[in-house]
A and B are shown apart, each in its own frame.
Chain A
Amino acid sequence: MSKFSKKKSGELPPVSTASLPDIVFMLLFFFMTVTVMKDSSLKVENVLPNASEVKKLEKKDRVIYIYVGKPTQEFQKVFGSEPKIQLNDKFASPSEVGDYILSERAKKSQELQNVLTTALKVDKNANMGLISDIKQELRKVNALKVNYTTYEGDAFRNLQ
């Protein structure tokens, strides 16, 4: 009797799935570290324009977002189809931007308060008048660092 004759011929052992949880957990941790939570749901159309000379917004905790665009289909009945400003989860008028910036700034820690950037996420079909009003409000509250958030691409595509 040789040692090796014990093996039954043909039958494969079932594949062990014991390591599956580990793999999935690894994936989970990967996604937890590389992603950020969505903070607010968009109520406006937000197709950003294209630009090529862009810089990355590095630190998420130093950014205040302002969205501008036409209200989406479901809100058009109530708010009309003119471009609107969205702050957090609600529509706002340009005069409310200053207060919003101040209250957001107060939420951040002391050392970040001077290095905040305002990211303007503006739909490409919005009018400059509204943007100009927002910028005027930002200047009033001394929030001077602005980032016009764009997609990376050729600027000529904006003209279509």
Chain B
Amino acid sequence: MGKKTNFSKVNAGSMADIAFLILIFFLVTTTIHSDSGIDRLLPKLQDESEIGLVQEKNILRVIINEEGDLLVDGQITALDELKETVKGFLDNGGLTKHDPEYCGYCLGDRSIISSDNPSRAIVVLSYDRKAYYSSYIAVQDKLMAAYNELRNREAQRLYGEDYTVLETKFVQPGTSDDSKILIKAKIESIRALYPLKLSEIETK
């Protein structure tokens, strides 16, 4: 009989429906945005008492109370003034020209009651247990902004490129290993000019 050789085709019309179903499943169960945030390295448990040896002029004390108000070196400061205050403190370079640790690249006021040079300057952040996390993050953000602006300035002067741009280039997947080594050297030299020295204390 001729009929047996006449194979019927598999109906592929429902393929689209099945694919749609899987597509919708993935749309529902997944998230597209990637997380971002402020990176911090916590201190090790051992080195607690370092701050005792530092001169008072090299310390900038930032205190957050439970209302979210800021006290910077004894003065009530608004959040939008914080960045400039921190920049002024870090960039002060108070040592005299003859001192071996004189900060040649600093553009600050050279005041003798503020920090000696950026690598000695320490920001001490203390907060009340009842302070809101949002104000803590706001302060951290402004501190980071102060550091980034100073670092950007130096990176522009030395390499004609922003520090933050260098950092994003370093983590980009497209960057080759050779240029990564170069970028890393640049990043480290800039970081050495303005090292991030941040200490946190919880007030009780």
A contacts, CB < 8 Å to B: 17-18, 20-21, 24-25, 27-28, 31-32, 34-38, 49-58, 63, 68, 117, 119-129, 131-132, 135, 138-140, 142-150, 152, 155-156, 158-159
In the complex, identify which listed stretch (B100-108, B116-124, B128-136, B179-187) lies at the interface while the others stay far away: B128-136
Q: Which B residues are in CB contact (< 8 Å) with A150?
A: 36-38, 137, 141
Q: Any chain A CB within 8 A of the CB of B44?
A: yes
Contact with B32, one of A28, A35, A51, A132 (Cβ below 8 angstroms): A35
**Inter-chain contact A51/B43, CB cutoff 8 Å:** no
**Inter-chain contact B127/A128, CB cutoff 8 Å:** yes
**Inter-chain contact A21/B12, CB cutoff 8 Å:** yes
Q: Which A residues are in CB contact (< 8 Å) with B80?
A: 156
Most A Cβ at <10 Å: residue of B15, B42, B144, B171: B42
In the complex, identify which listed stretch (B20-28, B49-57, B91-99) lies at the interface while the others stay far away: B20-28
**Inter-chain contact B138/A49, CB cutoff 8 Å:** yes
Contact with A123, one of B37, B133, B142 (Cβ below 8 angstroms): B133
Shortest CB-to-CB span from A46 to chain B, Å, is: 11
**Inter-chain contact B16/A131, CB cutoff 8 Å:** no
Q: Any chain A CB within 8 A of the CB of B10?
A: no
Contacts A/B (CB < 8 Å), 27 sampled: A21-B19, A24-B23, A28-B26, A31-B27, A31-B30, A34-B32, A35-B31, A35-B32, A49-B134, A56-B34, A57-B37, A125-B133, A125-B134, A126-B133, A127-B133, A128-B136, A128-B202, A131-B133, A140-B45, A143-B42, A144-B43, A148-B37, A150-B141, A152-B36, A155-B137, A155-B138, A155-B141
**Inter-chain contact B37/A128, CB cutoff 8 Å:** no
A52 with B37, Cβ < 8 A, contacts A34-B32, A38-B31, A127-B129 known = no
**Inter-chain contact B136/A52, CB cutoff 8 Å:** no
Q: Which B residues are in CB contact (< 8 Å) with A147?
A: 35, 37-40
**Inter-chain contact B39/A127, CB cutoff 8 Å:** no
**Inter-chain contact B39/A55, CB cutoff 8 Å:** yes
**Inter-chain contact B138/A37, CB cutoff 8 Å:** no
Q: Any chain A CB within 8 A of the CB of B140?
A: yes
Q: Which A residues are in CB contact (< 8 Å) with B34?
A: 56-58
Complex formed: what's the CA distance from A25 to B23 in Å?
8
A158 with B138, Cβ < 8 A, contacts A38-B29, A139-B43, A144-B44 known = yes
**Inter-chain contact B138/A25, CB cutoff 8 Å:** no
